[in-house]
């Protein structure tokens, strides 16, 4: 095994980890603010990829417009999702929101299977398969751009949460719901924004990764599976914890997959989750008391 | 009166193949038996234990794979594989429950889902053990002496017998002190704890029991299919079980049993493609969560309660 190969694995792991992070952060944000675990999260990511596929292959949009439009569409879908389905559930039982989002996920996934069939499809961007050489590591252009989009997503989310009043309100609700209500934060506005941002990040991730991999209606499952494990490992509702865990997991998976076996790579997330639950049930970055 | 009805029902169930339905309908009847066990297992864990388990399909699939591998690779008698299938499923269930319940009910739901997805991936990708997506074909049939249960019509009898035993066991547990304690824990865990009820132990017991029975059901069922492949771990089963329990009414034994039979037979009558069926189930699930969270069983229970109150007033 050469150093170049190792670096290549690391780089691939970093890209996938960055997107695990975007999804897991959205999931964590929605859980923190609404106390709802969005089991349809992976399917929204799939919809983003399908959106990218349709815009580029059918409507011949260029790469940049596509990603921007899919992200905006994701935000609109998030608004609708909150307005129609989640709003009525505020403060109701955990199981109801779980089954509702699970049912929605099934509708989306199987609806997509019915319309597009299970055949994997390739997104043909204007960059084709061209690649650049950075040191010893060869990056395809779309992969490098995906990494840049992930960075945009990170910076955007960070700026929203730490540099705006509404972002501060979101963190306040996630940290202590009652206290946030007492100081006059309107929970519904904050909840709506959390869902909009979370689903917009799904759209961005789907559209940015669609040209890197292939698009199939079942692609959301594996990402959802990893994001849930990441949220448990990082600690429920801890957005920073989700980000760090996600990137670490992406890199570890790539290394294990490239050197040992792919089956083991998929199992890493699960094993890490069980170990963390046994040793540190609140998650690596979790704080506060058990609920 | 009740006993007579029960006896007549039992005789009718056992006599069903004698009425001469086609192999197709007998396959559906055997599937309905399996679904009755699976959905009642979920009912025990969710309706009584208050835990949303998304890993019930994993117990069923693990049981199926365990039986198939033991029978095919090690040449075991199919009957002898069933206890092992149940034990493997129980181990998985108690493991997932023990790790996640230390945190919360919420984490149990998530960890059970992650476990279900992981087992799906492993079944597909660990080709050395599971033969990957092609599965393990050519499984032997169950047999007792000279009687071979190699068609759906004949397989129906052992499957029905197991389903009846499993349902009876779960009914007994639900009506016992254990069932009452599970309900107490579900309603108010701190209060139940202050009365000396060990919530974790009771919940693990419920998960373990439902896993054993689901695992054995899966182990038996693969000997009808004669093949096991990753589709036995499909989300289709999870969604069907959820629909059966939610529409039947969580905590309602007869409601869930009837819903299990109804939701096995009706989709066959409608002859939907599998994707459309899943879409429909998803819509029903979302609709039920918005409009009818306690299911039809819950609706009936509420109406009955209202009548009682009216009579008292």
pLDDT in tens, B159-174: 999 999 999 999 999 9
Asked whether the CA dihedral B54, B94, B104, A265 is positive or negative, the reply is negative
Min Cα–Cα distance to chain A from B235, Å: 9
**Confidence grade of residue A246 (pLDDT, cut at 50, 70, 90):** very high
pLDDT tens-digit profile of B270-286? 877 778 888 888 898 88
* A15 exposure class (CB count in 10 Å sphere: 0-12, 13-18, 19+): buried
Min Cα–Cα distance to chain A from B117, Å: 7
Per-window interface: B 232-251 vs A, CB < 8 A? 235, 239, 242, 246
Supply the pLDDT for residue A290: 40
ipTM over 0.95? The verdict is no
Q: Read out DSSP for A18-62?
A: HHHHHHHHHHHHHHHHH----TTHHHHHHHHHHHHHIIIIIS---
**Confidence grade of residue A287 (pLDDT, cut at 50, 70, 90):** low
Average pLDDT over residues B44-58: 91
Average pLDDT over residues B93-100: 92
Supply the pLDDT for residue B76: 86
Does A229 sit within 8 Å of B114, measured CB to CB?
yes
Supply the pLDDT for residue A289: 44
Q: Does B224 touch chain A (CB under 8 A)?
A: no
Q: What distance in Å separates the CA atoms of residue A182 and residue A193, rounded to the nearest whole number?
A: 20
Average pLDDT over residues B52-66: 93
Q: Which two tokens stand for residue B305?
A: 């309660």
Helix, strand or coil for residue A121? strand
Q: Does B133 touch chain A (CB under 8 A)?
A: no
Q: Are A40 and A170 in contact (CB under 8 A)?
A: no
pLDDT tens-digit profile of A161-177? 899 999 899 888 888 88
Where do the structural domains in chain A lie, given as residue ranges? 3-279
Does B107 sit within 8 Å of A277, measured CB to CB?
yes
Q: Does A260 touch chain B (CB under 8 A)?
A: no
Chains A & B: contacts with CB separation below 8 Å: 127
Percent pLDDT > 90 in chain B is 33
User: What residues have CB less than 8 Å from B171, skipping those under 6 apart?
Assistant: B253
**Lowest mean pLDDT segment, chosen from B27-36, B145-154, B241-250:** B145-154
Supply the pLDDT for residue A135: 74
Q: Read out DSSP for A90-108?
A: TTS-HHHHHHHHHHHHHHH
Burial B157-181 (b: 16+ CB within 10 A, else e): bbbbebbbebbebbbebbeeebbeb
Supply the pLDDT for residue B68: 92
Supply the pLDDT for residue A291: 37
Cβ-Cβ contacts under 8 Å, A267 against chain B: 118, 121-122
Supply the pLDDT for residue A90: 62
Separation of CA B284 from chain center:
19
Q: What distance in Å separates the CA atoms of residue A270 and residue A267, rounded to the nearest whole number?
A: 5
Assess whether pLDDT exceeds 90 at residue B33: yes
Which residues, listed in sequence order, are joined to residue A215 by a DSSP beta bridge? A121
Average pLDDT over residues A247-265: 87
Give the chain A residue nearest B235 (alpha carbons). A106
Q: How many CB atoms lie within 10 A of CB A135?
A: 8
Q: Are B109 and B53 in contact (CB under 8 A)?
A: yes
**Confidence grade of residue B215 (pLDDT, cut at 50, 70, 90):** very high
Residue B103 has its nearest CB partner, among A110, A221, A277, at: A277
pLDDT tens-digit profile of B222-264? 998 888 888 889 888 998 899 899 888 888 888 899 999 998 8
**Confidence grade of residue A88 (pLDDT, cut at 50, 70, 90):** confident
Assess whether pLDDT exceeds 80 at residue A232: yes
Min Cα–Cα distance to chain A from B276, Å: 7
Residue with the bigger pLDDT between B1 and A153: it is A153
Does B286 sit within 8 Å of A103, measured CB to CB?
yes
Q: Are A201 and A74 in contact (CB under 8 A)?
A: yes
Q: What distance in Å separates the CA atoms of residue A217 and residue A112, rounded to the nearest whole number?
A: 6
Average pLDDT over residues A56-72: 91
Q: Which residue has the tokens 């059966």?
A: B244
Supply the pLDDT for residue B296: 65
Q: What distance in Å separates the CA atoms of residue A263 and residue A241, rounded to the nearest whole number?
A: 26
Supply the pLDDT for residue A236: 79
- The second-level CATH assignment, the architecture, of A3-279 is Orthogonal Bundle (1.10)
Assess whether pLDDT exceeds 90 at residue B206: yes
**Lowest mean pLDDT segment, chosen from A10-14, A142-146, A251-255, B16-20:** B16-20
Q: Read out DSSP for B143-173?
A: EETTEE--SHHHHHHHHHHHHHHHHHHHHHH
Q: What distance in Å separates the CA atoms of residue B268 and residue B28, rounded to the nearest whole number?
A: 8
Q: Does A186 touch chain B (CB under 8 A)?
A: no
Average pLDDT over residues B126-149: 82
Give chain B's mean pLDDT. Answer: 87
Query: Where is A150: in which H helix or E strand?
Result: helix A141-163
Q: What distance in Å separates the CA atoms of residue A231 and residue A235, rounded to the nearest whole number?
A: 6
Probe site for chain A from B91, B121, B239, B287 (most A CB atoms < 10 A): B121
Average pLDDT over residues B4-9: 87
Helix, strand or coil for residue B249? coil
Assess whether pLDDT exceeds 60 at residue A288: no
Q: Does B200 touch chain A (CB under 8 A)?
A: no
């Amino acid at each position: 095994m050469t150093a170049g190969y190792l670096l290549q694995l690391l780089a691939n792991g970093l890209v996938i980890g960055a997107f695990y992070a975007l999804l897991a952060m959205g999931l964590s944000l929605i859980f923190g603010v609404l106390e709802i675990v969005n089991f349809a999260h992976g399917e929204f990511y799939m919809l983003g990829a399908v959106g990218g596929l349709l815009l580029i292959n059918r409507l011949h949009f260029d790469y940049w417009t596509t990603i921007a439009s899919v992200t905006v569409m994701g935000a609109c879908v998030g608004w609708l999702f909150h307005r129609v389905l989640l709003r009525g559930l505020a403060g109701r039982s955990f199981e109801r929101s779980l089954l509702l989002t699970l049912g929605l996920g099934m509708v989306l996934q199987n609806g997509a299977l019915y319309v597009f069939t299970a055949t994997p499809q390739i997104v043909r961007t204007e960059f084709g398969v061209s690649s650049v050489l950075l040191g010893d590591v060869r990056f395809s252009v779309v992969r490098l751009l995906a990494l840049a989009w992930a960075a945009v997503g990170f910076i955007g989310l960070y700026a929203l949460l730490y540099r705006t009043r509404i972002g501060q309100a979101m963190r306040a609700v996630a940290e202590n719901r009652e206290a946030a209500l007492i100081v006059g934060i309107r929970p519904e506005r904050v909840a709506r924004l959390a869902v909009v941002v979370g689903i917009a990040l799904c759209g961005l991730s789907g559209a940015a990764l669609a040209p890197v991999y292939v698009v199939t209606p079942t692609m959301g499952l594996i990402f959802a599976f990893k994001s849930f494990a990441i949220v448990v490992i990082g600690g429920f509702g801890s957005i920073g914890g989700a980000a760090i865990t996600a990137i670490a997991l992406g890199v570890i998976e790539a290394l294990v997959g490239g050197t040992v076996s792919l089956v083991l790579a998929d199992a890493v997330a699960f094993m890490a989750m069980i170990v963390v639950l046994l040793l540190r049930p609140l998650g690596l970055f979790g704080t506060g008391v058990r609920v | 009166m009740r006993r007579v009805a029960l006896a007549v029902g039992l005789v009718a169930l056992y006599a069903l193949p004698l009425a001469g339905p086609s192999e197709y309908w007998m396959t559906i009847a055997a599937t309905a038996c399996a679904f009755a066990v699976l959905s009642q297992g979920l009912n025990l864990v969710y309706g009584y234990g208050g835990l949303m388990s998304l890993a019930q399909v994993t117990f069923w699939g693990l049981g199926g794979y365990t039986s198939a591998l033991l029978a095919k690779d090690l040449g075991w008698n199919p009957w002898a594989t069933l206890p092992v299938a149940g034990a493997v499923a129980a181990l998985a269930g108690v493991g997932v429950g023990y790790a996640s319940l230390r945190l919360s009910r919420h984490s149990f739901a998530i960890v059970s889902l992650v476990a279900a997805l992981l087992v799906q991936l492993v079944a597909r990708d660990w080709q050395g053990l599971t033969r990957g997506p092609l599965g393990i074909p050519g499984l032997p049939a169950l047999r007792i002496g000279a009687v071979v249960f190699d068609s759906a019509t004949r397989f129906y009898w052992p499957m029905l017998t197991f389903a009846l035993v499993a349902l009876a066991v779960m009914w007994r547990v639900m009506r016992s002190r254990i069932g009452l304690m599970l309900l107490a824990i579900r309603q108010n865990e701190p209060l139940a704890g202050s009365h000396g009820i060990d919530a974790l132990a009771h919940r693990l017991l419920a998960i373990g029991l439902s896993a054993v029975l689901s695992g054995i059901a899966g182990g038996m069922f693969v000997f009808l299919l004669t093949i096991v492949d990753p589709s036995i771990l499909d989300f289709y089963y999870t969604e069907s079980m959820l629909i059966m329990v939610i529409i039947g009414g969580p905590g309602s034994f007869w409601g869930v049993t009837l819903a299990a039979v109804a939701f096995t037979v009706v989709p066959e009558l409608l002859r939907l493609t599998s994707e459309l069926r899943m879409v429909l189930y998803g819509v029903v699930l979302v609709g039920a969560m918005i409009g009818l969270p306690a299911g039809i069983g819950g609706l009936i229970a509420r109406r009955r309660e209202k009548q009682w109150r009216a009579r008292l007033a």
